[in-house]
Chains A and B, each alone.
Chain A
Amino acid sequence: EAQVTQNPRYLITVTGKKLTVTCSQNMNHEYMSWYRQDPGLGLRQIYYSMNVEVTDKGDVPEGYKVSRKEKRNFPLILESPSPNQTSLYFCASSLIAKNIQYFGAGTRLSVL
């Protein structure tokens, strides 16, 4: 089954404790992206990647890192999480030519 898988689905952590949210897709998509969703703000893009070893900042990259060492994986790294990073995070992937983005089920992160 074609899908985008995020882990974990729920995460509670404390300020400053490094964490990684994983994202994996099995559709051989070149393009992958991370969004955060906050009430009243819709989805805002954090980082995106057009292919392996090619990443770029989205609209709200501060406090986040990403890497794209393999085509299927695109982890989101919070080196020193802060409470303002409490949010719902979505990973998405697509073929660049079609850009129909497929979304993961989301990761709800709480930073205390």
Chain B
Amino acid sequence: AQSVTQPDIHITVSEGASLELRCNYSYGATPYLFWYVQSPGQGLQLLLKYFSGDTLVQGIKGFEAEFKRSQSSFNLRKPSVHWSDAAEYFCAVERGSTLGRLYFGRGTQLTVWP
């Protein structure tokens, strides 16, 4: 069963528009949560992570994400998208019961129109 769900396979936004990428997980306890970005032909780079504490976390490249326990969600946001943000974005979780293992969503491909 899919444990990490990214419901949007592909999103297109105009440059300068705001962005929200959705991620939901299906574990009972709060896992560790991550967002990774993969630019074309590249490996994955960590954007941000949530372990505990403040539920709004800041990452690199102007991204932020908010953990909402009641919704089992960890959505990624950016107020103003740049053309260089076009990439594939992956949400991932680490469950406490399987420390060290990451479970990835299927990814959201972001296209940015000029």
- B56 beta carbon closer than 8 Å to chain A: no
Instruction: Type the 1/0 row for A80-101, where 1 means its CB is closer than 8 Å to any CB of B.
Output: 0000000000101010100111
**Contact indicator per residue, chain B 7-46, by CB within 8 Å of chain A (1) or not (0):** 0010000000000000000000000101010000011111
**A75 interfacial contact with B, CB 8 Å:** no
Residues A96 and B105 in contact, CB atoms below 8 Å apart: no
Asked if B94 is at the interface (CB within 8 A of a chain A CB), the reply is yes
Main secondary structure on A side of the interface with B: strand
Is there an interface contact between B43 and A45, defined as CB atoms closer than 8 Å?
no
B60 within 8 A of A: no
Contact indicator A99/B104 (Cβ below 8 Å): no
Q: Let me know if A43 is at the binding interface, CB within 8 A.
A: yes
Q: Are A50 and B90 in contact, with the CB atoms below 8 A?
A: no
Nearest first, the 6 closest Cβ-Cβ pairs linking A and B are A103-B43, A42-B106, A43-B104, A103-B44, A42-B104, A105-B43
B interface with A by C-beta (< 8 Å): 6, 9, 32, 34, 36, 42-46, 49, 90, 94, 99-107
